[in-house]
């Protein structure tokens, strides 16, 4: 697996920043985007592209409509997933415009901040483009490397960061509040509190079907659950159950 880097100005000069990561980079001429690579998608191998624009480039492309009128349609035909990295420092000015650093002060770019904000939001919601802001070249390359590793270090269905739920826990167990992405049964919430279960709580809930059945289950039943069937984990669960 490699990251392909467009060899033209605007991306080709970033090649040296990839050296510390030990990832193979191939400079070539890309029809669209500044970086592309293959990754593990939901249905197998898929193609990912990253378009890099400085804030000045973004404002120019908004005015000329080059990004939305030319680049994005081409990206949509050749790639499965797309990222847009907006590189540089910019902020909302007191007059509502986009401001960028200019010496020790800030300079207005003559474009409403709201217009830029809404434009990027529309790309995310309606065009399926993942927008990322970076400070400079080093952070841009780090973001590309992180996206590359995220797409290749695991298979699509092995990623679980998005598939977690909140369940009340004692302050001493170090658990943080987690995102709630789906309805969670009482049985699963109860299972999440048991040592040795954690992410397998959903599997346990599906096996026992109800909190009452789970509460009355014998140790042998826990041993049969895939991922929990180690003697020490099952016995720990069993000891907790007896105290409830």
Mean pLDDT of the chain: 84
DSSP state of 209: -
Distance CA 28, CA 215 (A): 61
With 60 as the cut, is the pLDDT of residue 82 above it?
A: yes
The two most distant CA atoms of the chain are separated, in Å, by 72
pLDDT tens for each residue of 89-116: 999 999 999 999 999 999 999 999 999 9
What's this model's pTM, rounded to 2 decimal places? Answer: 0.67
pLDDT at 177: 45
Mean pLDDT confidence for 56-66: 90
Distance CA 148, CA 85 (A): 14
Domain ranges of the chain: 3-158, 171-243
The Cα-based distances of 242 to 38, 107, 200 in angstroms read 51, 68, 20
Structurally, what CATH architecture does the domain formed by 171-243 represent?
A: Orthogonal Bundle (1.10)
Mean pLDDT confidence for 47-63: 93
Distance CA 87, CA 52 (A): 7
Which of 61-65, 169-173, 201-205, 220-224 is the most confident on average? 61-65
Third-level CATH fold of 3-158: Rossmann fold (3.40.50)
């Amino acid at each position: 697996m490699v990251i392909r880097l467009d060899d033209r100005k605007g991306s080709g000069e970033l090649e040296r920043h990839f050296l510390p990561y030990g990832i193979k980079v191939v400079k070539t001429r890309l029809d669209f985007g500044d970086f592309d690579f293959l990754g593990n998608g939901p249905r197998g191998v898929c193609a990912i592209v990253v378009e890099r624009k400085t804030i000045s480039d973004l404002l120019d492309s908004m005015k000329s409509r080059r990004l939305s009128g030319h680049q994005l349609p081409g990206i949509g035909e050749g790639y499965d997933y797309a990222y847009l990295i907006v590189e540089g420092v910019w902020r909302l000015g007191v007059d509502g415009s986009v401001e960028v650093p200019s010496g020790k002060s800030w300079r207005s770019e003559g474009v409403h901040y709201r217009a830029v904000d809404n434009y990027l939001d529309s790309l995310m919601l309606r065009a399926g483009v993942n927008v990322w802001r970076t400070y400079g070249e080093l952070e841009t390359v780090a973001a590309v490397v992180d996206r590359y590793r995220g797409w290749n270090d695991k298979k699509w269905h092995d990623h679980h960061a998005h598939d977690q739920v909140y369940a009340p826990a004692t302050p001493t167990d170090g658990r943080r509040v987690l995102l709630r992405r789906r309805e969670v049964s009482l049985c699963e919430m109860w299972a999440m509190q048991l040592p040795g279960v954690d992410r397998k709580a959903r599997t346990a809930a599906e096996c026992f079907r109800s909190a009452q059945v789970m509460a009355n289950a014998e140790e042998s039943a826990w041993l049969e659950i895939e991922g929990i069937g180690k003697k020490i984990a099952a016995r720990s669960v069993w000891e907790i159950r007896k105290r409830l």
